Structure 1
């Protein structure tokens, strides 16, 4: 009985040694991976800093002004002016719905209930506030 207890204890110790060995090497492998990732992160941060510096260098106002002057014929960039924007009065809004003397909601007087259109734009010739072209600045409607 005592020999069996010694054998089981020896097997348990060998099992614990094997487990500790695996945990030790697993931890070392994880630490190497962490060090590798930290090195990669440091390289990426350095690269990002370099790219930000390059972006700032390329977007200098003096450089952009020179590029705009060199490519004026192609780009036709001009300073913005208030006349380039539209006015609220140029936006075509939908007319208000007509008053219904019959009192039935959704039906105009004398309208045939069977002749309803599928889309409100179809009744108005297809023109709505969303697809009517805006007048250009200085152009009358």
Structure 2
């Protein structure tokens, strides 16, 4: 009985030792992934800031004026924009096979 108990304790000790190192390895991998996610989020924030900076209306207007001869772009004016009600959407029959569709409603309109 004593020998069986000693062998059992040794087996449980080896298993616990392996589980401990396995857990430590997984914790290190998780921390590495969390650092990578944090770095990716920081890069994404910088890219969003750059995108917002590059798409400033005054900058785009100046670029359109500077490159008018090459691109024939006209400056943006408020009357060039429409409202949601002016957009012609496809009929519901065409949308039956579409997955993950998003319904668009106008301001003040509630479903």
TM score, norm. by length of structure 2: 0.65
- Take 1:74 and 1:40, find their aligned partners in 2: how far apart are those partners? 43
Correspondence for 2:9: 13
- Take 1:48 and 1:79, find their aligned partners in 2: how far apart are those partners? 30
Gaps of 5+ in 2: 81-111
Q: How many residues align?
A: 78
- Take 1:9 and 1:22, find their aligned partners in 2: how far apart are those partners? 20
Larger radius of gyration: 1
- Take 1:48 and 1:77, find their aligned partners in 2: how far apart are those partners? 30
Correspondence for 1:115: none
Q: Does 1:41 align with 2:37?
A: yes
CA RMSD in angstroms comes to: 1.9
Where is the helix percentage greater, Structure 1 or Structure 2?
2
- Take 2:63 and 2:2, find their aligned partners in 1: how far apart are those partners? 87
Gaps of 5+ in 1: 83-141
SS of the residue aligned with 1:25? helix
Correspondence for 2:92: none
1:68/1:79 Cα in 2 relative to 1: closer, same or farther (>3 Å)?
closer
Q: Does 1:68 align with 2:67?
A: no
- Take 1:23 and 1:30, find their aligned partners in 2: how far apart are those partners? 10
Measured after TM superposition, the shift of residue 78 of structure 1 is: 3.0
Structure with the greater relative contact order (CA < 8 A, sep ≥ 6): 1 or 2? 1
Q: Does 1:54 align with 2:50?
A: yes
- Take 1:78 and 1:59, find their aligned partners in 2: how far apart are those partners? 16
